[in-house]
Amino acid sequence: MGASFSTADTIVAVATPHGRGGLGVVRMSGPESAAIAQRLTSRELPFEPRHATLAVVRDIDQVVVTWFAAPHSYTGEDVVEISGHGSPWLLQSIVESACAAGARLAQPGEFTLRAYLHGRLDLIQAEAVADLIDAVTPLQARVAFDQLEGTLTSAVQRIDAQLFDLAAKLEASLDFPDEGFHFITRTNASADLAAVQTELERLITDGRRGRLIREGRLVVIAGRPNVGKSSLFNALIGTNRAIVTPLAGTTRDLLTEQVDVCGVPLTLVDTAGLRESADVIEEEGVRRAEQAREVAALTLLVLDGSQPLDGDDQRLLAETGGPRVVIANKADLPSVWSGSGIAVSAVTGRGLDELRAAIVGALSGESGDTAGTEDLRDVPRVSNQRHLLQLEGAVTAVTRSLEQLNQGATEELVLAELTDAREALEALTGKRTSDDLLRHIFSTFCVGK
Amino acid sequence: MAVPDFDVIVIGAGHAGVEAAWAAARMGRRVGICTLSAETVALMPCNPAIGGTAKGHLVREIDALGGLMGRAIDATGLQFKLLNRSRGPAVWSPRAQADKRHYGRWVREALTSAPNITWIFRRAGRVLVEAGHVSGLEFEDGGAVSCRALVVTTGTFLNGLVHIGDEQRPAGRAGEPPTHQLAESLRAFGFEMGRLKTGTPPRLDRKSIDFSRFKEDLGDDPPVPFSFSTDRIDRPQMACHIVHTTEAVHDLVRSHIDRSPLYNGQISGVGPRYCPSLEDKVMRFPEKERHQVFLEREGLDVDEIYVNGMSMSLPAAIQDAIVHAMPGLEDAVVMRHAYAVEYDFVQPTELSLSLEAKRVPGLFLAGQINGTSGYEEAAAQGLMAGINAAQRCVDATNVVLGRDQAYIGILIDDLVTRGCLEPYRMFTSRAEHRLVLRIDNADLRLTAIGRAVGMIDDARWARFETRAARLDRNRARAATTRVVVNGLTGTAAEALGRPLVSMDNVVSAGYAFETDGVREIDAATLEAECKYRGYLKRHDAQQARVESQHARRIPEEFDYEGVPGLTREVVERLSAIRPVTLGQAGRIPGVTPAALAIVASRVRKLGT
Ligand SMILES: Cc1cc2nc3c(=O)[nH]c(=O)nc-3n(C[C@H](O)[C@H](O)[C@H](O)COP(=O)(O)OP(=O)(O)OC[C@H]3O[C@@H](n4cnc5c(N)ncnc54)[C@H](O)[C@@H]3O)c2cc1C
Ligand SMILES: Nc1nc2c(ncn2[C@@H]2O[C@H](COP(=O)(O)OP(=O)(O)OP(=O)(O)O)[C@@H](O)[C@H]2O)c(=O)[nH]1
Ligand SMILES: [Mg+2]
Q: What HEC string does B84-131 produce? A: CCCCCHHHCEEEEEECHHHHHHHHHHHHHHCCCEEEECCCEEEEEEEC
Going by C-alpha positions, the residue among A424, A417, A425 that lies closest to residue A397 is: A417
With cut-offs at 50, 70 and 90, classify the pLDDT of residue A370: very low
Alpha carbon distance A184, A411 (integer Å): 11
pLDDT value of position A440: 62
Alpha carbon distance B243, B316 (integer Å): 20
Asked if A176 is an interface residue toward chain B (Cβ–Cβ < 8 A), one would say yes
With cut-offs at 50, 70 and 90, classify the pLDDT of residue B97: very high
Alpha carbon distance B271, B274 (integer Å): 9
Whether residue B151 contacts residue B182, with contact meaning beta carbons closer than 8 Å, is answered with no
Whether residue B303 contacts residue B209, with contact meaning beta carbons closer than 8 Å, is answered with no
Of B88, B427, B500, the CB nearest to A412: B88
**Does ipTM exceed 0.90?**
no
> What's the DSSP call for residue B179?
B
With cut-offs at 50, 70 and 90, classify the pLDDT of residue A376: very low
Number of H helices and number of E strands within chain B?
A: 20, 22
Task: Give the mean pLDDT of B235-241.
Answer: 88
Cis ω before B593 (30° cut-off from 0):
no
CB B415 near ligand 1, within 6 Å? no
3-state secondary structure of A76: coil
Nearest residue in chain B measured CA to CA from A119: B594
- Least confident residue range of A84-93, A387-396, B347-356, B539-548: B539-548
CB A240 near ligand 2, within 6 Å? no
Q: How many CB pairs under 8 A join A and B?
A: 107
pLDDT value of position B263: 63
- The nearest CA of chain B is from the CA of A337 a distance in Å of 56
> Chain B window 74-133: which residues touch A at a Cβ cutoff of 8 Å?
83-84, 86-88, 90-91
Residues with CB under 5 A from ligand 3 (ion): A 229-230, 250-251
- In this structure, the residue with its CA closest to atom 27 of ligand 1 is B155
- In this structure, the residue with its CA closest to atom 16 of ligand 2 is A244
Task: Give the mean pLDDT of B56-78.
Answer: 97
CB contact under 8 A, A407 and B593: no
pTM of this structure? 0.81
Nearest residue in chain A measured CA to CA from B90: A412
CB contact under 8 A, A8 and B434: no
The percent of residues in chain B predicted with pLDDT above 70, rounded, is 95
Which atom, in ligand 2's list, is nearest to the CA of A223? 19
pLDDT in tens, A309-356: 998 899 888 887 778 999 999 999 998 887 778 999 999 999 999 999
Which atom, in ligand 1's list, is nearest to the CA of B155? 27
Residue B157 Cα to ligand 1 middle (Å): 7
B256-259: which pairs have CB atoms within 8 A and are 24 or more residues apart? B256/B314, B256/B315, B256/B318, B257/B283, B259/B314, B259/B315, B259/B318
Going by C-alpha positions, the residue among A244, A221, A217, A213 that lies closest to residue A231 is: A244
pLDDT value of position A45: 85
Number of H helices and number of E strands within chain A?
A: 14, 12
- In this structure, the residue with its CA closest to atom 8 of ligand 2 is A228
Asked if the model's pLDDT at residue B63 lies above 90, the reply is: yes
3-state secondary structure of A229: helix
Contacts of A171 in chain B (CB under 8 A): 427, 429
CB B185 near ligand 1, within 6 Å? no
Of A412, A420, A434, the CB nearest to B87: A412
pLDDT value of position B551: 83
Task: Pick A46 or A277 by higher pLDDT.
Answer: A46
Phi-psi region of B307 (alpha: psi -120 to 50; beta: other; left: phi over 0): beta
Asked if the model's pLDDT at residue B271 lies above 60, the reply is: no
Quickly list H helices, B532-592.
533-550, 568-577, 582-587
Asked if A254 is an interface residue toward chain B (Cβ–Cβ < 8 A), one would say no
Whether residue A78 contacts residue A29, with contact meaning beta carbons closer than 8 Å, is answered with yes
Cis ω before B202 (30° cut-off from 0):
no
Alpha carbon distance A284, A292 (integer Å): 12
pLDDT in tens, B110-134: 999 999 999 999 999 999 999 999 9
Query: What radius of gyration do chain A's Cα atoms show?
Result: 28
pLDDT value of position A374: 44
What ligand has the least distance to the C-alpha of A247?
Answer: 2
With cut-offs at 50, 70 and 90, classify the pLDDT of residue B446: very high
> What's the DSSP call for residue B173?
B
CB B370 near ligand 1, within 6 Å? no
Cβ-based neighbours of A298, under 8 Å, separated by 6 or more: A217, A218, A219, A220, A323, A324, A325, A359, A362, A363, A366
A365 vs A175, A266, A360, B133, B443, CA distance in Å? 46, 16, 8, 72, 54
Going by C-alpha positions, the residue among B42, B70, B28 that lies closest to residue B460 is: B70
Task: Give the mean pLDDT of B188-212.
Answer: 89
pLDDT value of position A65: 93
Whether residue B45 contacts residue B200, with contact meaning beta carbons closer than 8 Å, is answered with yes
A389 vs A399, A425, B476, B538, CA distance in Å? 15, 10, 38, 17
Quickly list H helices, A262-410.
280-295, 311-319, 352-364, 385-406
Asked if B290 is an interface residue toward chain A (Cβ–Cβ < 8 A), one would say no
Domains and CATH numbers, chain A: 11-122 (3.30.1360.120), 138-212+384-430 (1.20.120.430), 217-376 (3.40.50.300)
What b/e string do you get for B332-353 counting C-beta neighbours within 10 Å, with b at 16 or more?
A: bebeebbbbbbbbbbbbbbbbb
Going by C-alpha positions, the residue among A218, A214, A166 that lies closest to residue A190 is: A166
**Beta strands B240-244 and B161-164, pairing class:** unpaired
- In this structure, the residue with its CA closest to atom 11 of ligand 2 is A246
Cβ-based neighbours of A63, under 8 Å, separated by 6 or more: A41, A54, A55, A56, A57, A82, A83, A84, A94
Of A5, A404, A411, the CB nearest to B565: A5
Q: In this structure, how many other beta carbons lie within 10 angstroms of the beta carbon of residue B519?
A: 13
Asked if A403 is an interface residue toward chain B (Cβ–Cβ < 8 A), one would say no
Task: Pick A348 or A361 by higher pLDDT.
Answer: A348
Asked if B246 is an interface residue toward chain A (Cβ–Cβ < 8 A), one would say no
pLDDT value of position A377: 46
Of A8, A181, A408, the CB nearest to B565: A8
With cut-offs at 50, 70 and 90, classify the pLDDT of residue B593: confident
What are the two backbone dihedrals, phi and then psi, of residue B70, each rounded to the nearest 5 degrees? -60, -45
pLDDT value of position A33: 93
- The nearest CA of chain B is from the CA of A176 a distance in Å of 8
Residue B560 Cα to ligand 1 middle (Å): 37
The percent of residues in chain A predicted with pLDDT above 70, rounded, is 90
∠ Cα A162 A168 A172 (to 5°): 150
Contacts of B590 in chain A (CB under 8 A): none
With cut-offs at 50, 70 and 90, classify the pLDDT of residue B204: very high
- Least confident residue range of A367-371, A412-416, B38-42: A367-371
Task: Give the mean pLDDT of A354-373.
Answer: 69
Strand partners, A220: A269, A299
CB contact under 8 A, A178 and B309: yes
Task: Pick B239 or B547 by higher pLDDT.
Answer: B239
Nearest residue in chain A measured CA to CA from B85: A177
Burial class (CB in 10 A: 0-12, 13-18, 19+), A59: exposed
Asked if the model's pLDDT at residue A3 lies above 50, the reply is: no
Asked if the model's pLDDT at residue A88 lies above 90, the reply is: no
Give B25-89 as a DSSP string.
Answer: HHTT--EEEE-S-GGGTT--SS-SEEE-TTHHHHHHHHHHTT-SHHHHHHHHEEEEEEETTTS-G
What are the two backbone dihedrals, phi and then psi, of residue B101, each rounded to the nearest 5 degrees? -70, -45
Contacts of B90 in chain A (CB under 8 A): 412
Alpha carbon distance B446, B228 (integer Å): 12
pLDDT value of position B95: 95
Asked if A404 is an interface residue toward chain B (Cβ–Cβ < 8 A), one would say yes
Phi-psi region of A368 (alpha: psi -120 to 50; beta: other; left: phi over 0): left
pLDDT value of position A449: 61
pLDDT value of position A283: 86
Asked if the model's pLDDT at residue B270 lies above 50, the reply is: no
Asked if the model's pLDDT at residue B52 lies above 80, the reply is: yes
Strands (E), B389-523: 482-485, 488-491
Whether residue B140 contacts residue B124, with contact meaning beta carbons closer than 8 Å, is answered with yes
CB contact under 8 A, A413 and B531: yes
Alpha carbon distance B366, B149 (integer Å): 13
Quickly list H helices, A300-446.
311-319, 352-364, 385-406, 411-429, 435-443
With cut-offs at 50, 70 and 90, classify the pLDDT of residue A447: low
In one letter, which amino acid is A76?
A: G
Whether residue B228 contacts residue B65, with contact meaning beta carbons closer than 8 Å, is answered with no
Task: Pick B200 or B38 by higher pLDDT.
Answer: B38
Asked if the model's pLDDT at residue B559 lies above 60, the reply is: yes
Mutation pick from B215, B432, B592 vs chain A, by most beta carbons of A within 10 Å, is B592
pLDDT value of position A5: 64
A69 vs A3, B270, B416, CA distance in Å? 23, 39, 38
- The nearest CA of chain A is from the CA of B566 a distance in Å of 8
pLDDT value of position A212: 78
CB A351 near ligand 2, within 6 Å? no
CB B162 near ligand 1, within 6 Å? no
Nearest residue in chain A measured CA to CA from B497: A409
In one letter, which amino acid is A155?
A: A
pLDDT in tens, B368-426: 999 999 999 999 999 999 999 999 999 999 999 999 999 999 999 999 999 988 889 89
Which atom, in ligand 1's list, is nearest to the CA of B124? 42
Q: In this structure, how many other beta carbons lie within 10 angstroms of the beta carbon of residue A245?
A: 10
